[in-house]
């Protein structure tokens, strides 16, 4: 089975960082050139094939090395094969896109063949990757030398290493590496994993999660959305000052890119932080709801900005599914109709009232709406086999990670006063 180790890499000097950035930038340039040629062939009126492309090794061997040129070419081919597969199955799909450009900023990324890098773990963990001969000569590296980088983190999986991916995260100003490994199928992720969890996904609170163990987690999204909205307002202001006939500028494009990357960084961090906590609790199955009813019930401009622009629900669920797969957790989609209106005490639906984060019922129940919805969802999918919920752990985004908040949820009503652990 396939699993992925994720860790940070750090250049040991400014010169090493400059070398690494040039390597990643050249990889993005190679991807763009190759992808442009294939897109031109795809949209051509003649019988051109996307597989009929120029040889790029001669142009990029001296910078990234021949093995890396091969891996980038192979990765691009995989993207095109995936596109054709989706198209043949009748799904809506677009041809592979570009990794940005020099003017607006590229997505800095590269792929290293499995036998071309060395990863050593210990007190002084390090990663060594190949560099093209031209860059070696320019930066004073010997013929057999490789770029050495510090590694921060610990491996979760030990097995046969696969193709390494290195990316630069502009928002957090960090370099990250993703190492696929193949571990024996006999190695179960968690022998005692039989717990379940249910998620209520939204915008005010990105995720409200209830676990059959009694734990609850709440990831707040209001502050994150306000920053997204402020950037959107600034984009609108700059657009209003553009000369007639112009629709964008370098500043506007940078703000769009910054807004998207901040949102995606936070969403990706939610997925990983939550799944790691669920894995530690022995969760084997996670239930998520359908987006349809939510989108149809939100009509205001502000709600539309949340559900369609900021929320990026499907992208988040796809990311969540990928992280769950790393940990051997199954994710299943189920209808969550009425879970946001149903009283957990008496089952009333029509008479309940939701105001912001609070759900109240004529029977006297009053609790956090999203957490109640996830708890109701969980009980529905597990036929009620769920114990009393502990006090929920709340998390806020600090631009780098999700940290525990000491603020209690409003109007909490819990049968068990035990406090859920927020540490790992």
Domains with residue ranges and CATH for the chain: 2-182 (no CATH), 195-221+260-405 (3.30.420)
Asked if 305 and 342 count as a contact pair (C-beta separation under 8 A), the reply is no
Task: Return the ∠ at Cα 190 (arms to 184 and 196), rounded to 5°.
Answer: 130
Which residue is associated with the tokens 């450009």?
101
pLDDT on residue 343: 87
> What's the confidence (pLDDT) of residue 237?
92
Instruction: Say whether pLDDT at 10 is over 60.
Output: yes
Distance CA 32, CA 26 (A): 10
What digits encode the pLDDT tens for the residues 371-414? Answer: 988 998 998 888 766 767 888 999 998 877 888 875 555 444 44
Written as six digits, the tokens of 328 are 């051997």
For the stretch 127-160, pLDDT in tens is: 999 999 999 999 999 999 999 999 987 787 888 8
Q: What are phi and psi of 169, to 5 degrees?
A: -95, 105
E strand or H helix at 283, and its extent? Answer: strand 283-288
pLDDT at 406: 57
Q: Do residues 151 and 119 touch, judged by C-beta distance below 8 A?
A: yes
> Would the pTM of this model clear 0.75, i.e. be above it?
no
198 neighbors 209 (Cβ within 8 angstroms): yes
DSSP label at 409?
A: P
pLDDT digits (tens, 9 = 90+) for 182-231: 876 544 455 456 889 999 887 788 899 999 999 999 999 888 888 888 98
Q: How confident is the model at residue 277 (pLDDT cuts 50, 70, 90)?
A: very high
Residue 422, pLDDT score: 41
Confidence of residue 80 (pLDDT cuts 50, 70, 90): very high
Distance (Å) of CA 124 to CA 57, 114, 120, 127, 151: 34, 22, 8, 10, 8
Q: What residues form DSSP beta bridges with 404?
A: 395
Q: What mean pLDDT, rounded, does the chain reach?
A: 82
Instruction: Please give the residue that has the higher pLDDT: either 56 or 214.
Output: 214
d(CA 119, CA 131): 16
* Model confidence at 106: pLDDT above 80: no
pLDDT digits (tens, 9 = 90+) for 326-380: 788 888 888 777 788 888 888 888 888 888 788 899 888 888 888 988 998 998 8
Q: What is the mean pLDDT of residues 65-85?
A: 92
Are the C-beta atoms of 25 and 106 separated by less than 8 Å?
A: yes
CB of 328 closer than 8 Å to CB of 190: yes
DSSP 305: I
Please report, rounded to a whole number, the percentage of residues in the chain having pLDDT higher than 70. 86
Please give the pLDDT value at position 280: 87
Q: How confident is the model at residue 64 (pLDDT cuts 50, 70, 90)?
A: very high
d(CA 400, CA 212): 29
> What is the rounded radius of gyration, in angstroms, for the C-alpha atoms of the chain?
24
- Is a pLDDT exceeding 80 seen at residue 264? yes
Q: What is the mean pLDDT of residues 17-30?
A: 94
Confidence of residue 297 (pLDDT cuts 50, 70, 90): very low
């Amino acid at each position: 089975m396939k699993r992925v180790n994720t860790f940070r890499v750090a250049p040991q000097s400014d010169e090493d960082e400059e070398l690494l950035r040039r390597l990643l930038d050249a990889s993005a340039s190679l991807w763009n050139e190759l992808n442009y040629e294939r897109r031109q062939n795809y949209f051509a009126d003649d019988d051109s094939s996307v597989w009929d492309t120029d040889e790029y090794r001669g142009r990029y061997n001296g910078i990234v090395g021949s093995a890396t040129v091969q891996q980038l070419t192979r990765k691009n081919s995989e993207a095109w094969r995936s596109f054709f597969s989706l198209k043949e199955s009748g799904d809506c799909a677009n041809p592979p896109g570009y990794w940005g450009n020099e003017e607006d900023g590229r997505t800095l990324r590269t792929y290293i063949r499995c036998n071309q890098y060395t990863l050593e773990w210990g007190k002084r963990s390090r990663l060594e990757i190949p560099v093209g001969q031209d860059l070696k000569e320019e930066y004073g590296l010997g013929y057999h030398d490789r770029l050495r980088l510090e590694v921060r983190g610990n491996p979760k999986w030990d097995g046969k290493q696969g193709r390494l991916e290195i990316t630069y995260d502009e928002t957090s100003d960090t370099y990250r590496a993703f190492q696929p490994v193949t571990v024996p199928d006999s190695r179960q992720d968690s022998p005692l994993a039989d717990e379940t969890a249910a998620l209520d996904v939204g915008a005010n609170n990105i995720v409200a999660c209830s676990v059959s163990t009694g734990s609850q987690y709440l990831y707040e999204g209001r502050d994150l959305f306000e920053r997204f909205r402020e950037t959107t307002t600034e984009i609108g202001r700059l657009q209003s000052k553009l000369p007639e006939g112009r629709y964008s500028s370098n500043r506007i494009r940078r703000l769009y890119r910054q807004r998207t990357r901040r949102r995606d960084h936070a969403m990706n961090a939610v997925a990983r932080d939550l799944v790691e906590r669920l894995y530690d609790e022995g969760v084997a199955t996670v239930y998520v709801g359908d987006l349809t009813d939510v989108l149809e019930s939100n009509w205001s401009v502000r709600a539309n900005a949340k559900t369609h622009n900021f929320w990026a629900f499907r992208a988040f669920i796809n990311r969540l599914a990928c992280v769950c797969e790393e940990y051997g957790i199954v994710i299943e989609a189920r209808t969550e109709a009425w879970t946001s209106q149903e009283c957990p005490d008496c089952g009333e639906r029509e008479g309940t009232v939701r105001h912001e984060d609070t759900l109240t019922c004529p029977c006297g129940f009053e609790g956090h709406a999203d957490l109640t919805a996830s708890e109701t969802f969980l009980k529905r999918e597990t036929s009620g086999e769920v114990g009393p919920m502990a006090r929920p752990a709340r998390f806020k985004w600090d631009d780098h990670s999700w940290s525990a908040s000491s603020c209690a949820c409003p109007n909490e009503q819990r049968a068990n006063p035990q406090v859920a652990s927020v540490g790992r």
